[in-house]
Amino acid sequence: MTKSFYIDNEECIACGTCAEICPDCFKFDDSMEHAAVTGFDCPMDLVQEAMDNCPVTCIHWEEAQ
């Protein structure tokens, strides 16, 4: 099952690391104030790696309800 996740835009410092690690699901360019999630169809281990390398730990798994 695909897990979903989100970026806390208030916390994101726009470093671009997540998009470098997992460009299929994260997008960032210099015109953006924060990174964006573009989809959930990517390897979950890469998403976890992006989370682990986010300097402000603002990428979170969406809790299943």
Q: Give the H/E segment covering residue 44.
A: helix 44-53
Find the binder of ligand SF4 among 4, 13, 29, 62 (CB under 6 A): 13
Closest CA to 39 of 21, 24, 54: 24
Spatial distance between the Cα atoms of 15 and 43, rounded to a whole number of angstroms: 21
The owner of tokens 């996740």 is 5
| Contact flag: residue 58 with ligand SF4 (CB under 6 A) | yes
**Cβ proximity to ligand SF4, 35 vs 63, nearer residue:** 35
Binding letters toward ligand SF4, positions 16-35, x by CB under 6 A: xxx---------x-----xx
Interaction between residue 7 and ligand SF4 (CB under 6 A): yes
